[in-house]
């Protein structure tokens, strides 16, 4: 299928992007890497009168580090995140998760901000942002906002983004004492995850402190498993987080995997992740 006809604009400044999005309201869509939006237009599950291509706004691209945070620009490609020395040093969870995103050709074009805006519940970056306690930075004609990732993902492909708002980047607090592990199960390498976990903790005397477990594929949005985190806190890795995870996650059955199986797989991954953190 082909996409319905749309107009196309490639602004050269953030002010121009904001003006266009404000003027055209919900009939305009931001185009970043196009790896989700273009197939959605072609399949006619998304529509737009105007595509606002932000790929020319260089200030949205790249990774930078300050004294206490790492910033990933919205237009930074998945591949750039995967290969960034700053990311490997300051937020290794992202470097661990990146190879699980699709294939290299898609990672070369798809962007960090595009994945956060899309909010696919099976995507890697949104779950990582929860585990990393990241903040999503936005801009619109009305001004700038900083939204904690833990308040950003509202439901299935649904976020706190307001009409006319553009994600400019994501800020991640530096956590030098933490270890991180990213695990996921997918049917084939490069497929979206059936279920996955982004895990972080400090390890002191064989026990886990400040445990963070964020799941992808565990419900209609990326989910922080607060009951499981509480159960694991201050202890050596637990053998079974099943009851806690049943309170945290509501996986959706798909054609191949029942909700019950996904919950079981989440427990297996959580157990492996905690053991790896402590190991
Ligand atoms: C075959 C295939 C397999 C894939 N597998 C995976 C996978 O395993 N894991 C995974 O996470 N993803 C996967 N993807 C999706 C891919 O990661 C996309 O790159 C990503 O989801 C969207 O990024 P994009 O830059 O391509 O955004 P686009 O497709 O350009 O846009 C996606 C949506 O976000 C909006 N948007 C984009 N940027 C911004 C911004 N800065 N501010 C506000 N709104 C914005 C757009 O308007 C649109 O609604 C796959 C894609 C394909 C085609």
> Which domains are present in the chain?
7-53 (3.30.43.10), 58-173 (3.30.465.10), 179-278 (3.30.390.50)
For the CA of 191, the closest atom of ligand 1 is 8
* Spacing, Cα 63 to ligand 1 middle (Å): 18
Is the CB of residue 212 less than 8 Å from the CB of residue 199? Answer: yes
pLDDT in tens, 18-75: 999 999 988 999 999 999 999 999 999 999 999 999 999 999 999 999 999 999 999 9
Q: What is the DSSP letter of 111?
A: B
pLDDT in tens, 222-251: 999 999 999 999 999 988 899 999 999 999
The dihedrals phi and psi of 169, each to the nearest 5 degrees, come to: 180, 180
Nearest to 149 by CA among 162, 131, 166, 134: 134
Residue having the nearest C-alpha atom to atom 19 of ligand 1:
110
> What's the pLDDT band for 189 if we cut at 50, 70, 90?
confident
| Three-state secondary structure call for residue 227 | helix
The residue-averaged pLDDT of 263-272 equals 97
Give CA separation, 44 vs 28, 32, 40, 41, 106, in Å.
15, 18, 6, 5, 20
62: its two tokens: 């790249």
> What's the pLDDT band for 104 if we cut at 50, 70, 90?
very high
Q: What is the pLDDT of residue 69?
A: 98
> What's the pLDDT band for 1 if we cut at 50, 70, 90?
confident
Mutate to test the pocket of ligand 1, among 24, 27, 35, 76 (most ligand atoms within 8 A of CB): 35
Q: What is the pLDDT of residue 105?
A: 97
pLDDT in tens, 129-146: 999 999 999 999 999 999
For the CA of 111, the closest atom of ligand 1 is 25
Is the CB of residue 18 less than 8 Å from the CB of residue 166? Answer: yes
State how far the Cα of 34 lies from the Cα of 37, in Å rounded to an integer.
5
Give CA separation, 50 vs 123, 164, 166, 177, in Å.
26, 13, 15, 46
Mean pLDDT of the chain: 97
Q: What is the pLDDT of residue 190?
A: 87
2: its two tokens: 């082909």
Pocket residues for ligand 1 (CB within 6 Å)?
29-37, 39, 74, 101-102, 106, 110-111, 113-115, 117-118, 120, 123-124, 166-167, 192
């Amino acid at each position: 299928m082909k996409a319905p006809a749309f107009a196309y604009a490639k602004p050269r400044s953030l002010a121009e992007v904001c003006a266009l999005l404000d003027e055209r309201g919900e009939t305009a869509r931001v185009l970043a890497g196009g790896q989700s939006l273009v197939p959605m237009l072609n399949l006619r599950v998304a529509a737009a009168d105007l595509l606002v291509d932000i790929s020319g706004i260089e200030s949205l691209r790249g990774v930078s580090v300050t004294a206490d945070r790492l910033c990933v620009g919205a237009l930074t490609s998945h591949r750039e995140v995967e290969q960034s020395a700053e990311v490997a040093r300051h937020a290794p969870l992202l470097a661990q998760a990146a190879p699980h995103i699709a294939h290299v050709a898609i990672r070369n074009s798809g962007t960090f901000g595009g994945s956060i805006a899309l909010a696919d519940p099976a995507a890697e970056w949104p779950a990582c942002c929860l585990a990393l306690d990241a903040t999503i930075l936005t801009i619109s004609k009305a001004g700038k906002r900083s939204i904690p990732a833990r308040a950003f993902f509202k439901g299935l492909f649904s976020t706190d983004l307001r009409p006319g708002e553009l994600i400019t980047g994501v800020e991640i607090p530096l956590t030098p004492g933490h270890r991180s592990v990213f695990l996921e199960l997918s049917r084939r390498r490069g497929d979206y995850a059936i279920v996955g976990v982004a895990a972080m903790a400090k390890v002191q005397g064989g026990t886990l402190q400040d445990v963070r477990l964020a799941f992808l594929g565990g419900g209609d949005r990326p989910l922080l498993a607060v009951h499981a985190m509480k159960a694991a806190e201050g202890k050596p890795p637990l053998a079974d987080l099943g009851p806690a995870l049943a309170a945290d996650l509501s996986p959706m059955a798909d054609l191949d995997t029942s909700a019950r199986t996904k919950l079981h797989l989440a427990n297996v991954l959580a157990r492996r992740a905690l053991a790896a953190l402590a190991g």
